[in-house]
Chains A and B, each alone.
Chain A
Amino acid sequence: MTRVVVITSGKGGVGKTTTSAAFASGLALRGFKTCVIDFDVGLRNLDLIMGCERRVVYDFVNVINGEAKLTQALIKDKHCENLFVLPASQTRDKDALTEEGVEAVIKELEHMGFDYVVCDSPAGIERGAVLALTFADEAIVTTNPEVSSVRDSDRILGILQSKSRRAAEGREPVKEHLLVTRYSPKRVDDGEMLSYKDVQELLRVPLIGVIPESESVLHASNQGTPAIHLKGADVADAYTDVVARFLGEERPLRYVNYEKPGLIKRLFGGK
């Protein structure tokens, strides 16, 4: 049975695509056949983050319009054996995605034996964002510890609870997970940033992880390598934990407490 997971947030720039790439890669590393779909029609970016931008021939909209077969459009990931990317179209036609089209593609992925389909939602609450969550079984709501992001996440949770197929058909609701990203334990310690506990208390969604603010995310996107592959980086560890928790394993939170730098570190610098 295929599980459809949407990575959503409402607000832009909070780390949806970074999370989609890392999370889908993490599932594939754990042996699951996974497909990650870019729903951001018009502003394709997942291909860059996954490092497959030069191999895009056909896209999601081509498949929906019957201009290409799904197998022609799927791009095999270069890091993981069982991971495939379905890139978004660069078309400016907002109505290029249709509910029937998206449903047909997800059904076909199911027939192809995919374990997980990860939907990378565009920002906003328009068509693309709604279609990305329509067929979801689970949702990872990506939120920065910042006022506008928290409020937008609350909005998108409301949309999940009203517009998803599960809600419309009165089935068991979409399983929601909260992922707090770009977290700075030091700023939380200084009282400058909402803590992950504050965010969770405000949104009332079970926490699946906290991703620290990290310079390595930029290094990862520069190279087109999903952040989970960065050896020894805190973000890679944090995303690995998120995948483990998603699969039902218990993992303590890491990188959420600020440790004051020791004297040596302060004298000689370093990160």
Chain B
Amino acid sequence: MSLLSLLFGEKKKTAAIAKERLQLIIAREHSSTYRGADFLPDLQRELIAVISKYVAVNPDDIKVQLEQQDNYEVLEVNIVLPEQNAATLRERTAAHLSRQP
């Protein structure tokens, strides 16, 4: 703080900071990433049930994630199939949803 502002008691303009923070948090709380996150556990449970019908998978080997990348929301489903003849078979599925956040 300069001597002048000390002398004249310049006030902090914090309203602009408040507005910026609110814009960010409200946008985030409105995004489907934030609101939709609560369906992920159900999705994971159902995926495990379906896949288990065909392949013996370990429930821990199915990972479901929702990520925000710039203007995209990426729903990533990562399934690790059990080892067959010591060879690892990996399958990655990524569904890109071109939704505007």
**Contact check: which of B13, B15, B21 meets A195 at CB < 8 Å?**
B15
Looking at chain B's contact residues, is the secondary structure mostly helix, strand, loop, or mixed? helix
Closest chain A CB from B40 CB (angstroms)? 20
Q: A154-B29, A191-B16 are in contact. Are A147 and B11 (CB under 8 A)?
A: no
Which single residue of chain A is at the shortest CB-CB distance from B11? A190
Report the interface size class on chain B: 10 to 19
Q: A151-B25, A151-B26 are in contact. Are A202 and B15 (CB under 8 A)?
A: no
A192 touches B15 (CB 8 A): yes
Across the A-B interface, how many residue pairs have beta carbons closer than 8 Å? 39
A192 touches B14 (CB 8 A): yes
Tell me which of A188, A190, A195 has the highest count of chain B C-beta atoms within 10 A of its own C-beta.
Answer: A190
A194 touches B13 (CB 8 A): no
Interface size counted on chain A using CB atoms at 8 A? 15
Q: A151-B26, A202-B26 are in contact. Are A194 and B19 (CB under 8 A)?
A: yes
A147 neighbours in B (Cβ, 8 Å): 18, 21-22
Task: Check B23 for interface membership: any CB of A closer than 8 A.
Answer: yes
B12 neighbours in A (Cβ, 8 Å): 191-192
Closest chain B CB from A256 CB (angstroms)? 15
Q: Which B residues contact A (CB, under 8 angstroms)?
A: 11-16, 18-19, 21-23, 25-26, 29
Kindly list the 10 A-B residue pairs having the minimum CB-CB distance in the complex, ordered from nearest. Answer: A191-B13, A198-B19, A147-B18, A191-B15, A202-B22, A194-B15, A154-B26, A150-B22, A190-B11, A193-B15
